[in-house]
Amino acid sequence: MTLPDIASARSAAEELARLCAQILGPATRAVILHGSLATGDFRPQRSDIDLLLISDTELTGEQCAALETTVRQAEIAAASGVDLHVVLADVARTPTPTPPAEFHVGRYDGSSLGVEVQPPVAADPDLPAELSMARQDGQALIGQSPIEVIGHVPPEWIRDRGRYWLHTWRTLTDDTESAALMVLTACRSWYFAETGRHIGKAAAARWALDRDPSLTAVQQALHQYLDAPDAAIDPDGIARVLDTVLRETD
């Protein structure tokens, strides 16, 4: 990681925020940068630009299409992609366990996923974690601060949703493309369950290894994430990590 990489990704995030706010116009309550660029954990070619848009009004079809085009065409410098969520101001202010999500577009360069677009959904159980992370570490690039626009998210909602994903991933340990993500996110879930705080992938992996140095898949995932994108992660080791975190967070 180099300072020019971080600076260029930060500039790209600021420009993307400006373009998105331009599309929403006066309805823009805030554009919040969160994730690794906000916490200092950014990894060139490995980390996304994470933006949360808070809107006072529902999006039109034209606005959704314009946001998708903007994300697809954005110059993202050293980032690996973009994760853009749009949430209504009332939803962000008073979170629920399954809040409605207004819009999401994810761009994952170099991945088989490519670009994913999610239109408005009535219930999104993964959104509270997004709101909680943005509230804890987010930075307002435009508009009001995270603490002003995002209400408190009870930790048990995030813990329970994390356990749902751990159970789901337990059947997907042979998914080599998602192996590091599963292992490192499991470590983050474990840390959150113990502390009530969000933490970056690498720091969570090191914390988990301090707790249990025998978790070799965590060592492998950390090596892949930091140094060697093609490094292998043992499926049996992934299963052991997931089982460990499920046990420790029960």
**Domain-ending residue, one of 149, 166, 196:** 149
pLDDT mean over 121-146: 98
Q: What's the pLDDT at 99?
A: 98
* Co-location of 183 and 225 in the same domain: yes
Strands (E), 109-234: 114-118, 139-143
Q: What secondary structure letter does DSSP report for 33? A: E
* Co-location of 26 and 142 in the same domain: yes
66: domain CATH number is 3.30.460.10
For residue 148, pLDDT over 80 is answered with: yes
CA atoms within 13 A on the CB side of 161: 20
State which residues form the domain around 211: 155-248
* Co-location of 31 and 127 in the same domain: yes
For residue 1, pLDDT over 60 is answered with: no
Q: What secondary structure letter does DSSP report for 52? A: E
In this structure, which amino acid lies at residue 243? D
- Residues 92-130 pLDDT 10s: 999 999 999 999 999 999 788 899 999 999 999 999 999
* Co-location of 137 and 244 in the same domain: no
Beta carbons of 134 and 152 less than 8 angstroms apart: no
**Domain-ending residue, one of 149, 172, 188:** 149
User: Has this prediction a pTM greater than 0.85?
Assistant: yes
CB atoms within 10 A of CB 39: 17
Q: What's the pLDDT at 113?
A: 82
Q: How far apart are CA 200 and CA 205, in angstroms?
A: 9
Comparing CA positions, the residue from 100, 71, 101 lying closest to residue 85 is 101
* Co-location of 118 and 167 in the same domain: no
What is each CA distance from 209 to 76, 102, 167, 198, 203, in whole angstroms?
A: 33, 38, 21, 17, 10
In this structure, which amino acid lies at residue 102? E
In this structure, which amino acid lies at residue 49? I
**DSSP labels, 136-150:** HH-EEEEES-HHHH-
- How many domains are there within the chain? 2
* Co-location of 17 and 138 in the same domain: yes
Q: How far apart are CA 97 and CA 101, in angstroms?
A: 12
- Residues 32-54 pLDDT 10s: 999 999 998 898 888 999 999 99
Q: What's the pLDDT at 110?
A: 78
* Co-location of 109 and 142 in the same domain: yes
pLDDT mean over 148-176: 98
Number of H helices, E strands in the chain: 11, 6
What is each CA distance from 211 to 52, 205, 243, in whole angstroms?
A: 33, 10, 14
Residues 41, 168, 195, 52: is their CA dihedral positive or negative? positive
- Residues 179-194 pLDDT 10s: 999 999 999 999 999 9
Beta carbons of 27 and 63 less than 8 angstroms apart: no
82 SS3 class: strand
For residue 133, pLDDT over 60 is answered with: yes
**Which bin fits 3, alpha (ψ -120 to 50), beta or left (φ > 0)?**
alpha
* Co-location of 79 and 142 in the same domain: yes
Q: Compute the mean pLDDT over every residue in the chain, rounded to the nearest whole number.
A: 96
- Residues 212-238 pLDDT 10s: 999 999 999 999 999 999 999 999 999
Cross-strand bridge partners of residue 116: 106
